[in-house]
C-alpha cells in the first residue's frame, strides 16, 4: 500500500515544469540575442562573444554569427533529472547549449546544462556550479 504514494509523487514532477519550459522556449525564439555577460569562475570573459548574434531556432539549432564567422550548435530546455544538484533554483530546469568545437575554442565554454536563474522577455540569466573545482560560471543573454 505504501508504494502507491511514492510512485504518484515521482510521476508528477516532469509535468510541473512543462508550461514554464514552453514559455522559456517561446521567449528565446523571439529574435537575436547577445551575450551581455559571461563570467567564468570569477573571470569576466564577455568580450570573447562581442559582436555575435545568437539565434535559437524552433528545431533546436543554435546559430552564433558575427557576420564573418558562424558557429552552429544545438540548444534545448529540459526538466533537470539530476536531483543531486542542490541549487537555489527551485524550478530544476536546464538550458542546454552545445557547440561542436575544440576545447580551445571560446564557444566550448558555453557548452553546458545551465541552470536558469531568471528570465524575462529580454533577458535570460544562467548559472553553472562546477562539480570539480566548485567554480561558478554565469551567462546572461540579452535580446538584441
CA 22 to chain centre: 14
Q: Which three cell numbers stand for residue 104?
A: 580551445
Length of the chain: 144
Question: Whole-prediction pTM value?
Answer: 0.82
> Is pLDDT of 51 > 80?
yes
Comparing C-alpha atoms, which of 135, 109, 113 is closest to residue 126?
113
Q: So what's the pLDDT on residue 85?
A: 45
**Confidence check: pLDDT of 7 > 80:** no
The pLDDT tens digits for 124-139 are 999 998 776 778 999 9
Average pLDDT over the chain, rounded to whole?
86
SS3 88: coil
Bridge partners (DSSP) of residue 142 are: 34, 123
- How many angstroms separate the CA atoms of 60 and 37, rounded? 23
Amino acid at each position: 500500500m505504501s508504494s502507491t504514494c511514492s510512485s504518484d509523487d515521482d510521476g508528477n514532477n516532469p509535468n510541473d515544469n512543462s508550461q514554464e519550459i514552453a514559455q522559456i522556449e517561446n521567449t528565446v525564439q523571439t529574435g537575436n540575442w547577445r551575450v551581455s555577460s559571461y563570467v567564468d569562475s570569477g573571470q569576466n570573459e564577455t568580450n570573447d562573444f562581442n559582436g555575435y548574434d545568437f539565434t535559437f531556432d524552433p528545431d533546436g539549432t543554435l546559430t552564433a554569427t558575427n557576420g564573418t564567422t558562424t558557429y552552429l550548435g544545438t540548444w534545448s530546455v529540459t526538466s533537470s533529472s539530476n536531483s543531486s544538484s542542490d541549487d537555489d533554483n527551485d524550478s530544476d530546469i536546464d538550458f542546454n547549449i552545445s557547440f561542436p568545437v575544440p576545447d580551445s575554442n571560446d564557444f566550448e565554454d558555453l557548452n553546458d546544462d545551465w541552470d536558469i536563474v531568471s528570465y524575462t522577455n529580454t533577458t535570460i540569466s544562467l548559472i553553472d556550479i562546477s562539480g570539480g573545482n566548485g567554480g561558478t560560471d554565469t551567462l546572461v543573454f540579452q535580446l538584441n
